[in-house]
Structure 1
Amino acid sequence: MASAPFRPFDDILDRDAALRRLREAVAGADDGELFLERRRSEALGFDDGRLRTASFDASEGFGLRAVRGETAGYAHSTTIDEPSLVRAAATARLAVGAGGGTLAAPPPRTNRRLYGDADPIDDAGFALKVETLREIDAFARALDPRVVQVSASLSASHQEVAILRPEGDLVTDVRPMARLNVSVIVEENGRRESGGHGQGGRHGLLGLIDRATWEATTREALRIALVNLHAEAAPAGVMDVVLGNGWPGILLHEAIGHGLEGDFNRKGTSAFAGLMGQRVAAPGVTVLDDGTIPDRRGSITVDDEGTPSNRTVLIEDGILVGFMQDRQNARLMGVQPTGNGRRESFAHIPMPRMTNTYMLSGEADPASMVADLKDGIYAVGFGGGQVDITSGKFVFSCTEAYRVRNGQVQEPVKGATLIGDGATALKGIRAIGNDMALDPGIGNCGKAGQWVPVGVGQPSLLIGGLTVGGAAA
């Protein structure tokens, strides 16, 4: 049964009293807000022929922040009442001290809505969700006798936020999320390999439990597993690489995305610090962070400081032109906020974070890009990776990749890792495909212990001279 709408200032707190406490906390500060949140989430996991996990979580609370210069005082509580607010205001106030600052201008207002406000948890009953997972398991096993294990999961969440600003404005947002994931393990002649696929976004659950949707997701997971079942050991060495479109944008997200967040550049710890206005990528490379795409996993109508999300150009035709900013870093750097102030929950302080980060299409035909490879790798799926923000160096593992010889895609390879640094990889882009696509809605991003949902995307790319780690050539 659906819960009543989250109206903290109608049902829990007196708005005028809360505003007085907030203003006491930020007196003499540069900025601050009272962030209130209620969240419900459900997750079901079906593994090895049975329902293994079923969880439901509900939480609510507030966070109060006062900011002065580079210092922020933050206090949070799972109890939403005035005594808790009084204590939080006194704690946050400690960061301001006897400062005599002037509050920054409030965020602009917006009436835009990028997604619905219905709770996806209520889209289907528990029994139907379990039966859908059971059908996925049976369907995958019936597709191929080599399937020995199937894991499938459904998750949904409903986040409601209210942000009270010191000037008195109240900003609200209701954020749905749903996701389906399927993983398959196949075995042949004693060798086992896996493949996985998923879909999701800020929308209801019904589209994901539609049979046509979960069948397609399951078939794709199986296809990847069977590709890997016949993969050979990856070569090692420096070679040209073609990256597929869509999800391979995770390399773009990690290798350069974090380096274009405002805090790392203000502190001089990013590989891109001090390079504004300079060429950092090959001509034709344009990279954006766009939180305004309807229903996408990384989209937000407003960020967690109340600033409307934005379409921010970061790199334009190879030139560095912008960073992603929250209000604090934007103010300290003398620029405008970009709507990228995000936090995991009321228990976390906001910071500059990505939303949907992607590269625009070019003009090259993806097939011709592969045909131009004399000896290289065609990588279309990625798993985990590691990145050093200061140097920009990255290591990414491929979950689906192929050897290319004389322009022909040949055997799949297993164990390939791509090694390089973001700046060099950007400048090494030799061709940009005309097939930009966004990922299917499965991304999460970690930073400073906080996780938020994100989106990635890119066209097919031909990059010269990447180091490929694998077996000895």
Structure 2
Amino acid sequence: MTGPEAVSKELAAELLERALSRGGDFADLYFEYRRTASISMEDGRVRSVGGSVDMGVGIRVVLGQAVGYAYAESLEPGAMAEAAETAARIASGSATHKAIKVRRRRAKDAYALGDTEIVDVDGKARVELLRRADRAARAASAEVVRVDASLVAVHKEILVVSSRGDMVYDFQPMCRMSVMAVARRDSRVEQGSSSGGGRMGLEYFESVSPEDHGEEATRVAVLNLDSREAPAGTMPVVLAPGDSGILLHEAVGHGLEADFNRKRTSNYTDQLGESVASELVTVVDDPALASSRGSINVDDEGVLPKNHRLIEGGILKGYLHDRISADWFKTRPSGSGRRQSFRHPPMPRMTNTFMEAGQDDPEDIIKSVDRGIYARKFSGGQVNISNGDFVFSLTEGYLIEKGKLTAPLKGVNLIGNGPEALATVSMVGHDFELSDGMWTCGKDGQSVPVGVGMPTVKLDALTVGGSKIG
């Protein structure tokens, strides 16, 4: 496959009719073509160079809440027909269908791709991007003793066809650079990292250069050489703009995915129209942010996605739906059906999830804290969807004392409950930032790229897990 015309409407209709031949309610085809190129350097030496091509089709048949799913790892008609028959046998029923007439639909373009995809860039040129990051990281401090860097680029095309007749194509480029620096002072060794990218090509490095990533990785590594043990206890926490959005994504966003609410395993089940956060909190999932890592022009069920206001002024307004959950809740699908590849069935997933900006000055937010924690960078976390309990680890955090940032901290864990934490939001800054494209979300064994964002936010009380009491 390359391009929207790679699969004929006639072939798609034939496969759909075969998939529904045993009486399923609905069927769809998910064609995918993917090229990947990757290079990694360890301590200044190229350690691995990789590339792959993957192509196939996933065929789904839905019967009520039951799903029959099969895939073919080629676009050979016989293999695809066999997959369609397998899916039909898994989800067979008594429904009858008219002949399917397929029509092509166009999706809007949320990616500002330049002339050159990184996956097509010469290997030597890609290595030079990593060497630039390496040189910058080492030049930023004599205490840096090791630098690792990697660059991954993907060219991905999808074509989704449903038994309702819609055929929608999307081209989804992706790039990500990651740099890790190790610094040593006497016997103490610390590290720092920087990552970024998005649905862009070489033009990404016009806004964020390899040198920027190298210098940022060194800044964090050297900063951590001066870090001290984090305090433990319940105290105010100020979330920095940008990366802090990952806490919102994990601790709140997953609970708003409709499959968990359909199964009644989310703490947000039956809460539509209810207050679930401070009135200062508005949470949005927007698939159309220009070139963001989580952006999509069409979801993996062929639905054109839209901006979702999930929580507005603290009130729960809606869930993220795929076709199955939308049918269950008797609403329209929201364009939130996503999957890792053609080998996986879709499920409700986030795209770019963030809290909208407020009115407070970020400096005033910090000044309002007598003693607390400033959380700037996260390494990820864990959340219990059923009750919202979470644990997150910081890679960069600071002690706030009498309204000022003082000592950098190590070993900071933030422990709490998503809805309870949002209820303690007392100040929201006007400085919204979208995190640079570095996050990947896992759910039920599937990984998809996502975007997160946040302004500066004050939580009045959160449990801090540190090693220093008091």
TM above 0.5, one fold? yes
CA contact (8 A) 2:241 2:376 kept: yes
Task: Give the partner amino acid of 1:16.
Answer: E
Task: Give the partner amino acid of 2:409.
Answer: V
Counterpart of 2:138 (choices 138, 141, 162) is 141
Match of 1:68 in 2: 63
- Consecutive unaligned residues in structure 2, runs of 5 or more: none
Q: CA deviation at 1:90?
A: 1.5
CA contact (8 A) 1:50 1:134 kept: no
Counterpart of 2:19 (choices 5, 17, 25) is 25
Q: Distance in 2 between matches of 1:106 and 1:456?
A: 36
Q: CA deviation at 1:82?
A: 1.9
> Are 2:49 and 1:54 equivalent residues in the alignment?
yes
CA deviation map 1:288-318 (0-9, x unaligned): 1000112111000000111112100100000
Q: CA deviation at 1:115?
A: 1.6
Match of 2:405 in 1: 409
Correspondence 1:237-276 to 2 at 5 A: 237-276=233-272
Q: Structure 1's 276 and 137: CA in aligned 2 closer, same or farther, altered over 3 A?
A: same
Q: Distance in 2 between matches of 1:81 and 1:131?
A: 39
Correspondence 1:169-208 to 2 at 5 A: 169-208=166-205
Q: Distance in 1 between matches of 2:58 and 2:407?
A: 53
Q: Structure 1's 110 and 278: CA in aligned 2 closer, same or farther, altered over 3 A?
A: farther
Match of 1:162 in 2: 159
Q: CA deviation at 1:116?
A: 5.2
Tell me the SS of whatever aligns to 1:440.
coil
Counterpart of 1:424 (choices 420, 424, 428) is 420
CA deviation map 1:178-204 (0-9, x unaligned): 111111110001101111111201010
Q: Distance in 2 between matches of 1:198 and 1:460?
A: 21
Match of 1:378 in 2: 374
Q: Identity over the aligned pairs, expressed in percent?
A: 41
Match of 1:435 in 2: 431
Q: CA deviation at 1:163?
A: 1.4
Q: Give the TM-score normalised by the residue count of structure 1.
A: 0.94
Q: Distance in 2 between matches of 1:222 and 1:394?
A: 29
Match of 1:447 in 2: 443
Match of 1:8 in 2: 6
CA contact (8 A) 1:119 1:157 kept: no
> Are 2:313 and 1:327 equivalent residues in the alignment?
no
CA contact (8 A) 2:106 2:168 kept: no
Match of 2:88 in 1: 93
Tell me the SS of whatever aligns to 2:252.
helix
Q: Structure 1's 124 and 303: CA in aligned 2 closer, same or farther, altered over 3 A?
A: same
Q: CA deviation at 1:105?
A: 13
Q: Distance in 1 between matches of 2:131 and 2:18?
A: 55
Q: CA deviation at 1:402?
A: 0.7
Correspondence 1:291-440 to 2 at 5 A: 291-440=287-436
- Consecutive unaligned residues in structure 1, runs of 5 or more: none
> Are 2:31 and 1:36 equivalent residues in the alignment?
yes
Q: Structure 1's 311 and 101: CA in aligned 2 closer, same or farther, altered over 3 A?
A: farther
CA contact (8 A) 1:116 1:176 kept: no
Task: Give the partner amino acid of 1:176.
Answer: P
Q: Distance in 1 between matches of 2:215 and 2:409?
A: 20
Q: CA deviation at 1:17?
A: 3.8
Q: Structure 1's 443 and 122: CA in aligned 2 closer, same or farther, altered over 3 A?
A: closer
Q: CA deviation at 1:139?
A: 2.5
Q: Structure 1's 362 and 108: CA in aligned 2 closer, same or farther, altered over 3 A?
A: farther
Q: Give the TM-score normalised by the residue count of structure 2.
A: 0.95
For these two proteins, the number of residue pairs brought into alignment is 466
Q: Structure 1's 192 and 453: CA in aligned 2 closer, same or farther, altered over 3 A?
A: same
Q: CA deviation at 1:455?
A: 0.1
Match of 1:459 in 2: 455
Q: Structure 1's 110 and 9: CA in aligned 2 closer, same or farther, altered over 3 A?
A: closer
Q: Distance in 2 between matches of 1:319 and 1:107?
A: 39
CA contact (8 A) 1:156 1:205 kept: no
Tell me the SS of whatever aligns to 2:173.
strand
CA contact (8 A) 2:143 2:183 kept: yes
Q: Distance in 2 between matches of 1:449 and 1:302?
A: 22
Match of 1:81 in 2: 76
